[in-house]
């Protein structure tokens, strides 16, 4: 397989620049090494998790998880992206995510893996002193030390910096006295070390302390949750816990940066997990539809079920196309930074932070795709899906939290356009230059509908260009009216986020399909892109209308909306037949496989 070339896009730049299909990274491009890692993790799950998967829907899972984490540590599975000097394999971000997709298909145990390897390793790796890395990192990679991440409090959820947990420096300056309460803390029941975000003295912002359980950390009972029952989740209490000053992680008063950079990686890893869980739900749904006979035929032969299967597969395809693409961009920026003299550790978190916007988009799209797929798979089961003994019912309960943690989807939606605008204000993106050119084209009557056949890749590329223009026009109109007060217009920001997300995911699916059109199932790939394009057009029309109505009046609103609709106009095509074509492929293979 030809390696993608190194044309480097920065975060948010996709909106203003086109990307040749050959330059994207896709699941079809996985190396033999990446496939080997995925296969090894799948073998581990088949041996260690699948035979006892029911236990992870009960509190039993909370006692099994630490044992399995240690077994994974012995196999080196926690250190995929960790430097070799700390017991890791030093793989790139693409490999880390490709491996993580398989690891995520492990029911509630996936939560323990994610927090330990992501929120446990990353803070020390990226912000720890040499002494801290030497002391903790190798033992975390082996799971001799198990980690928990303490950010959320009763009064501090989305507003994380409002936390009341406080550390006071001792008179001799040797330790902090830590007092406070954390809640919804994953792995807390068995963690040895807690990364605790708190405010030191009267600091306005958070700091992060590395706290050992043995120093007097107290735990509440396991929470009674809707799902992921096998994931340990408790309240954590600190009452005059003595923490040595050398256990301050990073700089004082800058813990919020640590939290956010850990969350950037965590958000895209949720999208990766969403792919894994959606694939399991999809297989359950399609398999049941192939077996269930009603009115003398398998229900998978009915158009209503085929439409569900097609719509599920379309979103799954877009999701995995996007997160693999993002991972490749992160790696390219990382390589560029290292070549320019940035240390490997600094480049690691800076390259992910560069794509904070895309990571937030992946979390939103992925978790909502997953919710849709699992819900539709359950619906295909009919009454059996509602049974407490069905696996799809377990998945339905387990996934609901994915739209809440790592920042609620509402918070992430507002973050997306805000990040784009902030980069533009800093001069990192020529957002306003491109927007003004489009407004000028609009006034001169240069805005036009794409002509041609929808099956032509050139048509799809031209339509993508129009979709990006629609995003810039709608967001530009809102910024022109509200200027710096747009940060208070949350409804507009959320609609803008939806437009940006749909644009990125449509482009990712199209580029992947064009690149691998001649590899396998080319007609299916193209039908997926065309169906997604029409769905995207519908969603953009609604979101753009809401933005324009909220930020323009009278003739201006009419003119802009008319131009947007012209840009989004599409020719007639038989979407029913295209979706049946898509569905029949997946019905025949009885799973998500393309």
- What pLDDT, in 10s, does the model give residues 85-132? 999 999 999 999 999 999 999 999 999 999 999 899 999 999 999 999
Q: What are phi and psi of 451, to 5 degrees?
A: -100, 155
What is the residue-wise DSSP string for 129-189?
-HHHIIIIIHHHHTTSS-EEEE--BTTBSSSGGG---EEEE-TTSSEEEEEEEEEEEETTT
Tell me the per-residue pLDDT of 8-49, one tens digit each, with 9 for 90 and over: 899 999 999 999 999 999 999 999 999 999 999 999 999 999
Q: Would you call 406 a catalytic residue per the annotation? A: yes
Residue 214 scores a pLDDT above 50:
yes
Instruction: Calculate the average pLDDT of the chain.
Output: 95
- Classify residue 505 as exposed, middle or buried by CB count within 10 Å of its CB (0-12, 13-18, 19+): buried
Decide if pLDDT at 409 tops 70. Answer: yes
Q: What is the pLDDT of residues 417-432, one digit of tens each?
A: 999 999 999 999 999 9
Please write the tens of the pLDDT for every residue from 292-348: 999 999 999 999 999 999 999 999 999 999 999 999 999 999 999 999 999 999 999
Q: What is the DSSP letter of 25?
A: -
Measured distance CA(541)–CA(582) in Å, rounded:
25
Q: Residues of 364-380 as b/e, b for ≥16 C-beta within 10 angstroms?
A: bbbbbbbbbbbbbbbeb
pLDDT given at position 279: 98
Band (pLDDT 50/70/90 cuts) for residue 197 is: very high
- SS3 assignment, position 19: coil
Indicate whether 284 pLDDT > 70: yes
In the set 358, 376, 406, 514, the catalytic residue is 406
Q: What is the DSSP letter of 22?
A: G
Taking a C-beta distance cutoff of 8 angstroms, is the pair 275, 236 a contact? no
Q: Domains along the chain? A: 13-146 (1.10.540.10), 412-589 (1.20.140.10)
- Residue 552: the pLDDT is 86
Q: Which residues are CB-neighbours of 304 under 8 A, at least 6 positions away? A: none
Looking at residue 594, the DSSP 8-state letter turns out to be -
Q: Is 452 left (phi over 0), alpha (psi -120 to 50) or beta?
A: left
CA–CA separation, 78 vs 70, rounded Å?
A: 9
The pLDDT-based confidence of 80 (bands split at 50, 70, 90) is very high
Q: What is the pLDDT of residue 6?
A: 67
| Residue 159 confidence (pLDDT) above 60 | yes
Residues of the chain with pLDDT > 70: what percent?
99
CB 290 within 8 A of CB 298: yes
Q: Report CA 99 to chain centroid distance, whole Å.
A: 15
Q: Give the number of other Cβ atoms within 10 Å of residue 348's Cβ.
A: 23
Q: Cα–Cα distances in Å, from 341 out to 7, 209, 336, 337, 338?
A: 19, 30, 9, 6, 5
Helix residue ranges, H only, 231-302: 255-291
CA–CA separation, 284 and 382 (whole Å): 12
pLDDT score for 560: 86
Of 594, 404, 446, 587, give the one whose Cα is nearest residue 509: 594
Q: At what angle do helices 60-74 and 32-48 cross, to 10 degrees?
A: 140
Q: What pLDDT is attached to residue 529?
A: 98
- Does the pLDDT at position 590 exceed 50? yes
Helices (H), 399-553: 409-425, 431-443, 457-482, 490-515, 522-551
- If you compute the radius of gyration of the chain from its CA atoms, what whole number of angstroms results? 24
CA 560 distance to own-chain centroid: 33
Distance, CA of 522 to CA of 513 (rounded, Å): 7
Average pLDDT over residues 480-493: 95
- Report CA-CA distances (Å) from 130 to 127, 196, 489: 9, 20, 44
How do 147-150 and 193-200 pair as beta strands?
A: parallel
What is the structure's pLDDT at 4?
47
The per-residue pLDDT for 385 is 97
Residue 555 has pLDDT above 90, yes or no: no
- The string of pLDDT tens digits covering residues 219-266 is 999 999 999 999 999 999 999 999 999 999 999 999 999 998 888 999
DSSP letters, 483-515, are GGGGGG-HHHHHHHHHHHHHHHHHHHHHHHHHH
Residue 337, SS3? helix
Would the pTM of this model clear 0.85, i.e. be above it? yes
Residue 573 Rama label (left phi>0; alpha psi -120 to 50; beta): beta
| Three-class DSSP labels, 52-111 | HHHHHHCCHHHHHHHHHHHHHHHCCHHHCCCCHHHCCCCCCHHHHHHHHHHHCCCCCHHH
Predicted confidence at residue 1, as pLDDT, reads 43
What is the rounded CA–CA span in Å between residue 147 and residue 186? 9
Q: Give residue 5's pLDDT.
A: 54
Give the per-residue pLDDT at 13.
Answer: 97
């Amino acid at each position: 397989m030809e390696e993608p070339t190194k044309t480097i896009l920065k975060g948010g730049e996709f909106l203003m620049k086109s990307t040749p299909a050959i330059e994207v990274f896709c699941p079809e491009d996985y190396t033999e090494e990446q496939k080997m890692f995925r296969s090894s993790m799948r073998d581990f799950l088949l041996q260690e998790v699948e035979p006892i998967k029911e236990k992870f829907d009960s509190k039993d899972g909370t006692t099994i998880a630490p044992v399995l984490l240690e077994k994974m540590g012995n196999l080196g599975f926690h250190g995929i992206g960790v430097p070799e000097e700390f017991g890791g394999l030093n793989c790139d971000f693409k490999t880390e995510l490709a491996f993580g997709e398989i690891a995520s298909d492990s029911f509630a145990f996936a939560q323990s893996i994610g927090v330990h390897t992501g929120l446990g390793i990353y803070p020390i790796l990226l912000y720890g002193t040499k002494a801290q890395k030497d002391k903790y990192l190798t033992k975390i990679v082996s799971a001799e030390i198990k980690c928990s991440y303490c950010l959320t409090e009763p009064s501090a959820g989305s507003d994380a910096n409002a936390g009341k947990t406080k550390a006071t420096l001792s008179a001799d300056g040797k330790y902090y006295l830590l007092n406070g309460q954390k809640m919804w803390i994953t792995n807390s029941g068995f963690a040895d070390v807690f990364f605790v975000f708190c405010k030191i003295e009267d600091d306005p912002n958070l700091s992060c302390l590395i706290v050992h359980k043995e120093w007097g950390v107290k735990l509440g009972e396991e929470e009674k949750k809707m799902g992921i029952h096998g994931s340990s989740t408790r309240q954590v209490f600190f009452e005059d816990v003595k923490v040595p000053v050398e256990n301050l992680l990073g700089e004082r008063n800058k813990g919020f940066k640590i939290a956010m950079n850990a969350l950037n990686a965590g958000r895209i890893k949720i999208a990766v997990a969403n792919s894994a869980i959606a694939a399991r739900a999809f297989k359950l749904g399609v398999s049941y539809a192939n077996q269930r006979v009603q009115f003398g035929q398998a229900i998978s032969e009915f158009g209503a079920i085929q439409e569900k299967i097609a719509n599920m597969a379309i979103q799954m395809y877009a999701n995995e196309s996007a997160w693999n693409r993002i991972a490749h961009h992160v790696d390219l920026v990382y390589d560029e930074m290292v070549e320019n003299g940035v240390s490997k550790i600094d480049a690691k978190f800076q390259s992910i932070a560069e794509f904070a916007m895309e990571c937030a988009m992946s979390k939103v799209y992925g978790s909502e795709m997953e919710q849709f797929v699992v819900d539709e798979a359950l619906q295909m089961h009919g009454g059996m899906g509602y049974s407490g003994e069905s696996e799809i019912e377990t998945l339905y309960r387990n996934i609901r939290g994915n739209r809440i943690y790592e920042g609620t989807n509402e918070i992430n939606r507002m973050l997306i356009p805000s990040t784009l605008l902030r980069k533009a204000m800093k001069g990192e993106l020529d957002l306003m230059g491109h927007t003004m050119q489009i407004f000028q084209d609009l006034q001169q009557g240069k805005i036009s509908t794409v002509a041609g056949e929808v099956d032509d890749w050139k048509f799809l590329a031209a339509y993508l260009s129009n979709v990006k223009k629609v995003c810039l026009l709608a967001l530009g109109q809102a910024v022109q009216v509200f200027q710096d007060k747009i940060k208070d217009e949350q409804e507009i920001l959320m609609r803008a986020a939806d437009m940006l997300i749909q644009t990125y995911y449509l482009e990712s699916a199209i580029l992947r399909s064009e690149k691998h059109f001649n590899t396998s199932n080319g007609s299916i790939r193209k039908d997926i892109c065309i169906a997604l394009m029409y769905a995207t057009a519908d969603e953009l029309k609604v979101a753009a209308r809401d933005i324009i109505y909220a930020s323009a009046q009278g003739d201006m609103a009419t003119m802009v909306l008319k131009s947007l609709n012209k840009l989004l106009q599409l020719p007639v095509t038989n979407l029913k037949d295209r979706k049946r074509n898509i569905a029949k492929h997946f019905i025949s293979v009885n799973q998500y496989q393309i």
